[in-house]
Amino acid sequence: MDNPLVGPGLDALRERRSVKWRLYGPEVLPLWVAEMDVVPAEPVQQAVIDAVRSGDTGYPWAPDYAEALSSFATQRWGWTPDPAAMQLVPDVMLGVTEVLKLLTDVGDAVVVNSPVYPPFFQFVHSLGRRVVEAPLDASGRLDPQTVERACAEAARGGGRVAYLVCNPQNPTGAVHTAAELTAVLEVATAYGVRVVADEIHAPLAHPGVTFTPVASLPAGSTAVSLMSASKAFNLAGLKAAVAVPGPEARAELAQIPDEVSHGASHVGVIAHRAAYLEGGPWLDALLAGLEENRRLLGSLLAEHLPEVGYREPEGTFLAWLDLTAYDLGPDPSSVLRERAKVALHPGPGFGTGGEGHARLNFGTSPEILREAVARIASAL
């Protein structure tokens, strides 16, 4: 199968009406938001077309999503979660919100590993909870001692505590190992802290890297994972996700109100189901293309921007760039957008460790990636 990343040209991409292509002017190359420049897999296209043509545009049926995800998880990760225990949610972050409502109260603390996806901070604060950061270590990995200190600090404030894990990590692309996850899960258990995992990038572990679902681990028996086909299959605009409980979290998760599932898109469920059940060959071709782009980005940076700090991600289509050597201030992305006409995602919003950094989306064609790096190098 052809590389999905070598598809629409720049002119065709600029005809898209998503925020990625509309927020900035036509002179800017947008490599910021986590949306790939691909056309979805043919089975997904056909499933959506058939649904619309037949008028199958009503309300979602949760078992369709749950059963497809269970089948996909069995094939890809050797784990078969029980579809009957899953809960359909509108998307991953709204699912996280509903689970945090079950596990914490207003004023309680939520531990996060920074730098991490900015909506972690935004959604937690909007719920009236407070964030306690447990930064990744110098090598970009989970640090059990830092997590323990954060759990202790969070517990001192009173109330209940949750630990919101990002696996794989956005923005660094670290795919946490079973041993790393077990270590921090055991710390959380020791402090009575409940674990919620955003695993939206789960299918995007690079070749040779093993993804481990948090809820599949013995230490994750009380955890809840949030999963979706949206990132891996480029379906962010077709909203749907599912909450997957560990064995000891089933009864608790079942307390999510029925109306929450109504927020998922029925057409989204149809698209995600087709992706999980029939999109495997397309996904494998995508992963091969992302591997090529990951290597290409590394070589381009080494040649043209050798002072950029860059650690090759183990998963996702995101690269975390350390631009502090160029003295561009706390938010280099704003400078690069102005000088180089390349939009990257601002680093400061990712929390501790974000200043002086920017996130680059390499889920695009090699040509656009080369052009973006050339523009940045010329500007600097």
What are the structure tokens assigned to 99, written together? 């689970």
Instruction: Please report the DSSP string for 266-294 in residue order.
Output: HHHHHHHHHHHHH-HHHHHHHHHHHHHHH
What average pLDDT is seen over the chain? 97
Residue 267, pLDDT > 90, answer yes
The DSSP call for residue 41 is P
Secondary structure class of 164 (helix, strand, coil): strand
CATH architecture of 10-41+280-379: Alpha-Beta Complex (3.90)
Assign residue 102 a region: left if phi > 0, alpha if psi is -120 to 50, beta otherwise? alpha
Residue 213, pLDDT > 90, answer yes
Beta strands in the chain (DSSP E): 29-30, 87-89, 109-112, 130-133, 161-166, 194-198, 224-227, 241-245, 309-310, 318-322, 342-343, 345-346, 357-361
Q: What is the mean pLDDT of residues 168-172?
A: 98
* 54-278: in CATH 3.40.50.1000: no
Distance CA 256, CA 307 (A): 48
Q: What is the mean pLDDT of residues 306-332?
A: 97
Q: Which residues are CB-contacts of 43 (< 8 A; sequence separation ≥ 6)? A: 274, 275, 277, 278, 279, 282
Percentage of residues of the chain with pLDDT beyond 90? 99
- Indicate the burial class of 27 (C-beta count within 10 angstroms; 0-12, 13-18, 19 or more): exposed
Residue with more model confidence, 9 or 157? 9
What pLDDT does residue 157 have? 81
Domain residue extents for the chain? 10-41+280-379, 54-278
Residue 282, pLDDT > 90, answer yes
Q: How many alpha carbons fall within 13 Å on the CB side of residue 168? A: 23
Q: Mind spelling out the 3-state secondary structure of 198-248?
A: ECCCHHHECCCCCCCCHHHCHHHCCCEEEECCCCCCCCCCCCCEEEEECHH
Phi, psi of 226 (to 5 degrees): -110, 125
Please report the sign of the dihedral spanned by the C-alpha atoms of residue 2, residue 14, residue 372, residue 198: negative
Q: What is the mean pLDDT of residues 325-350?
A: 98
Asked if the domains at 10-41+280-379 and 54-278 fall in one CATH topology, the answer is no
List pLDDT tens digits, range 242-266.
999 999 999 999 999 999 999 999 9
* Residue given tokens 């720049």 in the structure block: 10
Give the chain's end-to-end CA distance (angstroms, integer): 38
Residue 169, pLDDT > 90, answer yes
> Residue 308 in contact with residue 301, Cβ under 8 Å?
yes
What pLDDT does residue 314 have? 98
- CA angle, 361 then 362 then 365, to 5°: 130
Q: How far is CA 71 from CA 40, 77, 217, 351, in A?
A: 20, 10, 18, 36
Residue 308, pLDDT > 90, answer yes
Closest CA to 88 of 272, 276, 280: 272
- CA angle, 246 then 61 then 92, to 5°: 50
What are the structure tokens assigned to 104, written together? 């914490």
What pLDDT does residue 348 have? 98
List pLDDT tens digits, range 175-206.
999 999 999 999 999 999 999 999 999 999 99
Residue 7, pLDDT > 90, answer no
Closest CA to 200 of 235, 161, 162: 235
**DSSP β-ladder status, 241-245 and 224-227:** antiparallel
Q: For residue 273, name the pLDDT band (cuts at 50, 70, 90).
A: very high
